[in-house]
Each structure stands twice: as structure tokens, then as C-alpha cells.
A and B are shown apart, each in its own frame.
Chain A
């Protein structure tokens, strides 16, 4: 029976304060200019794009992944003054006074709710699961931060690389490639699957009926008899395929066709996706592609 309950004055004050905090933004954003001037990135894709399309002084925060070799394609390119987020930290974010926060489609809804309650504007990058989706995401981000021209230049280069790749790979015999990582493969609707196909190969994950990144079962993967097994350059990734009781006996492993790809290119969901496709195509079709970098 709540009606008869009487709280002490101090507790009533505390409850009123908490209630006010819950119903109003904890930090009211200053009126934002047409183009945001202080941009904080909370995902690596945005880090990689923003480094190229923003003047250095407008990038106030990136993720810690941006400095990590083997994960990021922009190591050493991020301004030292930009804050590095180890995790999505609302308190630190608010303290940086950004006028735009860039999040990804994987940023969880609870955190987005917190951002909204805090009065921070955010731009959410979506559709990064395919090269065409990445292209659109770069243009959208350029519009959001007010550097459309730079984003368009970036996309023009991206298009040139992918167009050149398509021209060089026309009519090529496509090997059947299985991506493998701790029992998972990349199927249809996955960025790695799309990269395999763009690089002039058949994605075995799609043939196996896998959608997204999922475990197909080692027996099925073995029976599909891949021409080549693609792994990331994570420590132990290649060794785990070789020591797998079944995949270790596959034709691809027996014939030494495990392709280890630099992680930063394999998982790139930015303009570097095109470089990743090029790199993989070079490894698969060295007779058609002149070098590992476009």
C-alpha cells in the first residue's frame, strides 16, 4: 500500500532529483551549426572514413581500435588529440561536447536511448554488409558531417577500384572458397561473403545455405570440398584449420591452400573494403591482378 507511505525529506528530494534527471536531458546540446564541428566516432568503420573526410581538428574521438595494427587501416593517421574510446562511455562522451556522435547499426539500442536522453545528436551507419552498402554509408556519413565533396571523392576511388577489379576478373574461373573462423563461416548477406564473391570466387558459405556468419558444421564444410580455405591473420587461425580433425584432411589443406588474409582488410567495413577485395583477388588470381594494393 503505497498511499500511506511517507518518505523522509532527504529521500523525497533525492527521488525528485532522480525523476527530473529521468525526464529531461542530462546535458542540453548547444545550438548546432549546419555542419557539426566536434565529431565523436564510436565505431571503427567511422574512424577509418572520418580520418579521410574530416579536417583533423573536427574529429574529437575515435575508438581504441583505430590505433590497433592488425585491426585498423588508419594506424598512425588519427590525430593524437582525439580521445580514444575503449568502450561506449556516455559520461566521457558528454564531457567531450561533441555535436555529432557516429554509431553503427551494431550499437545497442539501450546506448542509443541514453544518447537521445543526453541530448546528443547521433548518426547511425547502416547497411555495411556489402560493398554497395559501404558505398552508400560513406556518402551518408559525408552528408551528416558536412563534407559531401570529400566523401564523394572517396567513393569515386572506391568505385574505380571495384570497377577495375570487375574488368580484370571478367570471365575468370572462380575457385570455391570457404571462410573459416572458430567453426563459423561467412554465408549470404555477410560482408566477408560479399568480399569473396567480389574478389572473383564462389562463396562456399552461400552454397552451404548459411546466412550471415554462422557455424555450418565441419562435416558439411569438409564434404563441400573447398578449393581454398580463407582465414584471418588472428593468432592461431591457420593452425586451428590445420589441426582440425576433419578440415585438416581437406584437399585445400593437404594441397597447402589456406589463404591467410590481413585482418584489417578482411573485416574492413569502410573504403578499405575495396582494398580488401583487391587484395583477396590478387591472392586468388595473381595472373589477373598486378599487385596486392590497387
Chain B
């Protein structure tokens, strides 16, 4: 099989699996909805012809359209976005174990979220918490950029180390604010920190989609630039690339996508590591190929994880972030061992 055919096959399989995952995620949940009725309701909304099916009823329609559909779509969008960010950063940092955490996105978003809860914005303003988390993520990335540039153009190591320092400061701020936050408010932030999509609506989807879709598309269009960056600074520069500007563009877009994803769902770890790493051997490392495959793979991973979070226990919703960590952490350790074995 040629490489092109293999890539197309992988993309087709991922697309098919994602379609199945979205259908299952929409029909299956703590309250089961008949798949035929779900499909009929969707077709009717899209004004598509459909064979008749028993109606869902008012409760089923409300569950489908107000909670489950936006939640499933948001899961796909967030998973896809985080996976694309992971793939892009792995090219920039030339390290298959890089992800959005290096940019301080998670730590900054957590600080923003806790601040919103502490000051009461989360309970008084609609979308107050995700907007504050998004702002926190962007401020954190900006701080890393500005601090790393105080002594001229930074190396990748300089960016990494600055990222660690800024994340530590943001983490300390989060802890301080948590201690000073009234007890009844703390629960809201704990839910957010655990990562999950409970209570997310079309408004959350629209907010996240605005940044994730735009950021992912731009990163995909910059695929060739990612390939050059993955060659290394000197080689990329020798091929005429303005490495500094290119790196800054990719990091900025990655921060926008990861910040929006984290703001909407809290911490969803390991998606940015697992999806690109698993798909790179199948579709190759070139950005134009790896990014779409990563998007589909990441989306599938989070849609399935969210389905599991809603259905594994018939009494409780489990935290989505914990489930992706349970799958991702063992995979990460295997990847690390494999990576070390190659060095």
C-alpha cells in the first residue's frame, strides 16, 4: 500500500469511528435515548428526509438538544483542538512528549478560574469562569513570552524553563486563592479542575469553537512551517525561515486553542500527547497530514472518554479529566520508555 493510500485509509477509519463515537455519545447516556429517534430528531432539525421513528418526547428532546448534543460536540472539539496543539508543539519543540502544559496554559487557566470563583464572577456572570480561565491561560503564555525575551531572543530551553517558572508561580497563586476562598465556592473550582463537561451548553460550544476552529485551521495551513521548525533552528533558518516569527506564530495559535479548550472543560490531560504520538507512525510526521489525523484522533478519544464518564457508573458522573489521565498516563510512560530507548 502506498503512503498516500495508507494515510487516506487512516483518515477514513478515524472519520468513521468519530462518526460512530458521536452517534453513540448522543444516543447513550445516563438516560438512554433510542438511536433511531435521535437520528430522526437530528434529521428533522436539519430538514433532511428520514424514515419515521418513535418521537423522543419533550424530556428526550430537551436532553438531546440542550445537554447531550452540545456536550458531545464540545468533547469532540476540545479533544481535536488539544491533539492538534500537541502535534504542533511537538514539532516546535522537536520533542514527541511536548504538550500545552509547556506553555503554562493549564496553570494560567486554573489561576483565572480560581480567581473568578474567589471574586464571585463565576456565580454572578454567565460564562464568567470559562472567560476568566481563558484570560488566565493567555496571560500566562504572554508572561512566558515576555520573560523569556528579556535577554533577547530565547532558545527553546529558555522558553521551557520560563514556562516551568511561570507555571509554578501560577500554581502558587492558585493555591493561595483556594485557601482564601469561601468553602461553599471551592466546590465549583474543584469540579472545573477535575475536568469535565457537565452543564456545558451551546454557549460554551460557541465560545470554544470560535477560537479552536480558527486556531486549528490556521495551524493546519501552517503545516509546512511546522515541518521546517521540526528540522531544528539552524536548518530551518538556512532554508530561509524566520524561525523566531514562525515559532511565535505557532505558539500563539497553540495558546489560543489550548486556552479555549481548557477554559471550556478544565484540565483534560494527555490528549495532546496520546493522539499525535499514536498516529505519527500511521500518517507520518508532516504537519499537513499529522494535524488532521490528530484532530480526528483527539476528538474520538475525548468523545469516548466523556461517554465513559457519563455511563461507567449508573449513579455518578465521573470526572472526564481523570479518565483521560487513566488512559493517557500509562500510554505516556510507554511512549517515554520508547523515546528513551531511541536516544
A residues touching B (Cβ–Cβ < 8 Å)? 181-184, 208-211, 214-220, 222-223, 225, 232, 234-237, 239-240, 243-246, 248-249, 263
- Structural contact, B199 and A217, CB atoms closer than 8 A: no
For residue B113, give the distance in angstroms from its CB to the closest CB of chain A.
13
- Could you say which residues of chain B place their CB within 8 Å of the CB of A263? 184
- CB pair A235–B317 under 8 Å, yes or no, is no
> In this complex, which of B68, B120, B184 has the most chain A Cβ atoms within 10 angstroms of its Cβ?
B184
Question: Are A244's CB and B199's CB within 8 A?
Answer: yes
A245 B315 Cβ-Cβ under 8 A:
no
Partner among A209, A217, A234, A248 whose Cβ is within 8 Å of the Cβ of B317: A217
Which chain A residues border B200 with CB–CB below 8 Å?
245
A246 contacts B187, C-beta separation under 8 Å: no
Q: List 16 A-B contacts (CB under 8 A).
A: A182-B188, A209-B315, A214-B315, A214-B316, A216-B316, A217-B30, A219-B67, A220-B30, A223-B63, A236-B120, A236-B123, A236-B124, A239-B124, A245-B199, A245-B202, A246-B66
**A184 contact set on B, CB distance < 8 A:** 187
Q: Is chain B's interface secondary structure helix, strand, loop, or mixed overall?
A: helix
Report B-chain residues with C-beta under 8 Å of the C-beta of A235.
120, 123-124
Which residues from B are CB-within-8-Å of A248?
Answer: 66
A217-B30, A217-B198, A219-B29 known, 14 other contacts, Cβ within 8 Å: A184-B187, A214-B316, A215-B316, A217-B317, A218-B67, A219-B31, A220-B30, A222-B31, A234-B184, A234-B185, A236-B123, A237-B123, A245-B199, A246-B199
Interchain CB contact under 8 A, A183 and B59: no
Q: Which 8 A-B pairs have the closest CB atoms?
A: A236-B123, A245-B201, A246-B67, A217-B317, A220-B30, A223-B31, A217-B30, A245-B66
A219 in contact with B187 (CB, 8 Å) = no
CB-nearest residue of chain A relative to B58? A249
Tell yes or no: B314 within 8 A of A by CB.
Answer: yes
- If A219-B67, A245-B70 touch, whether A181 touches B187 (CB-CB below 8 Å) is yes
Name the CB-closest residue of A to B319: A215
Total A-B residue contacts, Cβ distance less than 8 Å? 85
Give the A-binding residues of B (Cβ under 8 A).
Answer: 29-31, 59, 62-63, 66-68, 70, 120, 122-124, 126, 184-185, 187-188, 191, 198-202, 310, 314-317
**B-side contacts of A222, CB under 8 Å:** 31, 59, 62-63, 67
Kindly state the separation between the CA atoms of A236 and B120 in the bound complex, as whole angstroms. 9
Nearest Cβ on chain A to B70's Cβ, whole angstroms: 7
Question: How far does the alpha carbon of A99 sit from the alpha carbon of B223 in the complex, in Å?
Answer: 72
Q: Is the CB of A216 within 8 A of B62?
A: no
List, in ascending order, chain A residues with CB within 8 A of B201's CB. 245
Most interface-central of A183, A217, A222 (chain B CB within 10 A): A217
Instruction: Please name all residues of chain B whose beta carbon is closer than 8 Å to the beta carbon of A243 when the two chains form the complex.
Output: 126
A236 — which chain B residues lie within 8 A by C-beta?
120, 122-124
B29 x A210 contact (CB < 8 A): no
A272 to B214, CA, bound (A): 55
The answer to whether B316 and A217 have CB atoms under 8 Å apart is yes
**In the complex, which residues of chain A have a beta carbon less than 8 angstroms from the beta carbon of B199?**
183, 218, 244-246
- Establish whether residues A219 and B315, one from each chain, have CB atoms under 8 Å apart when the complex forms: no
Residue on B nearest A184 in the bound complex, by CB = B187
Chain A residues within an 8 Å CB radius of B198: 183, 215, 217-218
Interface centre among A211, A234, A263 (most CB of B within 10 A): A234
A210, A237, A239, A249, most chain B CB atoms within 10 A:
A249
CB distance from A232 to the nearest CB of B (A): 7
Q: Bound complex: CA of A211 vs CA of B62, how far in Å?
A: 27
B138 to chain A, nearest CB (A): 25
Assembled-state Cα–Cα distance A184/B126 (Å): 20
Write the chain A residue with the least CB distance to B203. Answer: A245
In the complex, A183 Cα to B317 Cα: how many Å? 10
Residues of A within 8 A of B30 (CB): 217, 219-220, 223
The reply to whether B123 and A216 form a contact with Cβ atoms under 8 Å apart is: no
Docked pose: A246 CA to B60 CA in angstroms: 11
B59 in contact with A182 (CB, 8 Å): no
Q: How far is the CA of A136 from the CA of B68 in the complex (A)?
A: 45
- Determine the distance from Cα of A215 to Cα of B317 in the docked complex, in whole angstroms: 6
Contact of A240 among B70, B123, B316 (CB under 8 A): B123
In the complex, A132→B176 CA distance in Å?
Answer: 39
In the complex, the chain A residue whose C-beta lies closest to that of B313 is A217
Contact, CB under 8 Å: B123 / A239: yes
Contacts of A210 in B (CB 8 A): 315-316
**Given known A209-B315, A236-B124, contact A219–B184 (CB-CB < 8 A):** no
Closest Cβ of chain A: how far from B116's Cβ, in Å? Answer: 11
Question: What residues on B are CB-neighbors of A217 within 8 Å?
Answer: 29-30, 198, 310, 316-317
- B184: chain A residues at CB < 8 Å are 232, 234, 263
Chain A residues near B31 (CB-CB < 8 A): 219-220, 222-223
Bound-state Cα–Cα, A175 to B304, Å? 37
Shortest C-beta distance, A52 to chain B (Å), equals 24
A182, B124: Cβ atoms under 8 Å? no
A40 to chain B, nearest CB (A): 21
Residues from chain A with a CB closer than 8 A to the CB of B185 are 234
Say yes or no: A219 contacts B63, CB within 8 Å.
yes
CB distance from A71 to the nearest CB of B (A): 9
Nearest Cβ distance between residue A220 and chain B, in whole angstroms? 4
Do the beta carbons of B68 and A219 come within 8 Å of each other? yes
Interfacial chain B residues near A232, Cβ < 8 Å = 184
Max chain A CB contacts within 10 Å: which of B68, B124, B317?
A: B317
